[in-house]
Structure 1
């Protein structure tokens, strides 16, 4: 059950999990023996330089030099009780939830927050605590360990992530052991406990389900819907998952060669069952990757960009009817007013059916993910870092230089409003403070390629703060 949290109160009970290694047998190890977290600070409105020192296995704080920017319920919280952990996994004795009272609010932060980053090079997903910067789990996303994952989408309650495998198939993974299933009936939850403790796919008990799409030659976009909020249970129910795939010619140079067009699917978030299929043969694939990125608005409508076709597709949540608009760049997201943003700094308003472009220059913008923070700033990659555009005035704001000059392909927002940037193909992810631009670094990834609502900030923002 989703816990209904009153932030003015201290939790009366806490779930404590003793994380004990599941053993070496059948465990895949990942590249690198250690992970590193570094924190760099910079005053707001300035450009942050690279850190002067780096810690290993901990945090080191340094202060950078600065320069002028060039631009851009009363409810009762119930936690499961805890029993002992064994060397075979996590043994949980979960107390029955308190059904009394009502939730103070359906929105706001939970007592956990994770960013889910695809290690495409090793076909895994990393689960990193956004507050402690510790990697708490790493998961194979397909039984053959060849899923080639990229896009991830976090549910509005933060309980699960849905992963799109570019080689085909959708995987749901639970965020917390208390939601996982003791599949082998031994009284423990066998689940990954860190980057160097990756379990075989069929032994990982926090994998909720996998839905195969055997005809898919490419499958990239993915986005949860919020579902329906139940005031009696404080739960989001009937959550769905949007995805899209091209059924091209197997072995062709490009996975979306137009052989059958492409398909949009809507899955049951609980079971993984495909409930709706929409074939769009009239929309060109663009001859390359086809459906590329996706996001939902406050009405759970699906917006999707078609790579190299210069087309954005809108699918209505209620009727499943769709239409297209001309435009697109790479990344795509939706703000709290239902306006669509692409990473080149352009905004489409579906009410006026007009595009608007950013005012001012951001060096090297484009070719990345895009995300709107809790202050209404639209973040995207720039040369050597990330920068933002004001979503109302369209004026370019500050640029934050990252410690790694590589391309920040993945850009996202977490539920606390921090900005996340993931360096393409490297080992690092950066968390940026929305006010001070302080940078915290996680170094322990393996060839990451992620851009999407990887920390759940987008769906929380459009659902909890709709302004349209």
Structure 2
């Protein structure tokens, strides 16, 4: 396609009936990371302290925790009390890296896990944290003490297609006294059988919903497919194969909608540090939306079967591509500043790449449906393969890198 900006049409709906008071002090505010009041953290106490890749094992009903430095899968957890029916997919990581969440499409649940032992809870008070010690040993769901909570979305999902998909943490409020983020939240989207989708917010301390925004007239076949935050705490999301873009204001919970008119078919989506949403088109080009001019554009020469998408701090946009499209199986690199294609990267083994994420060190991760992940150095293009047992229909912000890059850019 060509880099043609097309005026989008905007619909706006205010005052969602299920939303909480917009003046709630726990609402996400923009973070100013320039205040150096936290010692060595440079005022960025919410910066990711640990670098893990959280991969959903869709066929097992579990989630894997992989150290992005050592490349070791350190633990594996069941994501739902009914693992065979769970079908976990989207994962999200908190801004500090201390927590990860996974949404289960088949059972309509969301589970949150602690990344390190000091965040786990000794639920049976035996003085020991009972948890998975490695990739081969899963603790029974109810006994896993690094699982903090599991909650069921409500209203109920419209079977599997309505199950929760788009999932993203919100950082909350930065506490300069503790150099931590307080009142952190988690947004998740699903849809019901009555043509209504929901984008709702969970208080991560309690695991309960505190805001629910209905999206009436939902026409996409599946639940909100991808979700990501901008630096103002607004939630952007899309419906798969639908020429629409939605935003929930992080303070007022007002819902806005744009239609591109480009006929693009978004699959994966993310938001960069300039507040620009990006989309991997499954039947077409990489696309983006300028929220200032409210116009859409596409990147020339990028037509492909795209899946997951991520943006690094050098403003390089990385998109998974599947076989059958122009570039074939691999990873597409786009320059976010010049809006041009840089390169189509190929890998020694490539099945069905789905998820793309950027880790703490700026490495690009591509998770393959067929049982592995690749870590690529964007400078040298050196690639490391990590075998991960199972089937991985997983993508979104699997490392927390997208959230970190938006709120605490270096």
TM-score (norm 1): 0.73
Consecutive unaligned residues in structure 2, runs of 5 or more: 1-35, 322-327
Runs of 4+ in 1 over 3 A off after TM superposition: 107-111
Q: Is the 8 A contact 1:151 1:220 kept in 2?
A: yes
Consecutive unaligned residues in structure 1, runs of 5 or more: 1-72, 76-100, 249-258
Q: 2:198 aligns with which of 263, 267, 272?
A: 263
Tell me by how many angstroms 1:213 deviates: 2.1
Q: Is the 8 A contact 1:422 1:450 kept in 2?
A: yes
Q: Is the 8 A contact 2:46 2:96 kept in 1?
A: no
Q: C-alpha separation between the residues in 2 aligned to 1:109 and 1:417?
A: 14
Structure with the bigger percentage of strand: 2
Q: C-alpha separation between the residues in 1 aligned to 2:40 and 2:71?
A: 32
Q: 1:337 aligns with which of 271, 274, 277?
A: 274
Q: 1:12-411, aligned counterparts within 5 Å?
A: 103-106=41-44, 110-145=48-83, 146-167=85-106, 168-213=108-153, 215-217=156-158, 218-248=163-193, 259-281=194-216, 283-286=217-220, 288-327=221-260, 328-344=265-281, 345-359=286-300, 361-362=301-302, 365-382=304-321, 383-411=328-356
Q: 2:389 aligns with which of 420, 445, 464?
A: 445
Tell me by how many angstroms 1:311 deviates: 1.5
Q: 1:1-12, aligned counterparts within 5 Å?
A: none
Q: C-alpha separation between the residues in 2 aligned to 1:453 and 1:385?
A: 19
Q: Is the 8 A contact 1:348 1:354 kept in 2?
A: yes
Q: C-alpha separation between the residues in 2 aligned to 1:197 and 1:226?
A: 32
Q: C-alpha separation between the residues in 2 aligned to 1:423 and 1:176?
A: 26
Q: C-alpha separation between the residues in 1 aligned to 2:332 and 2:40?
A: 41
TM-score (norm 2): 0.83
Q: C-alpha separation between the residues in 2 aligned to 1:206 and 1:347?
A: 37
For these two proteins, the number of residue pairs brought into alignment is 354
Tell me by how many angstroms 1:109 deviates: 5.7
Q: C-alpha separation between the residues in 2 aligned to 1:289 and 1:104?
A: 42
Q: C-alpha separation between the residues in 2 aligned to 1:107 and 1:305?
A: 31
Q: C-alpha separation between the residues in 2 aligned to 1:407 and 1:208?
A: 32
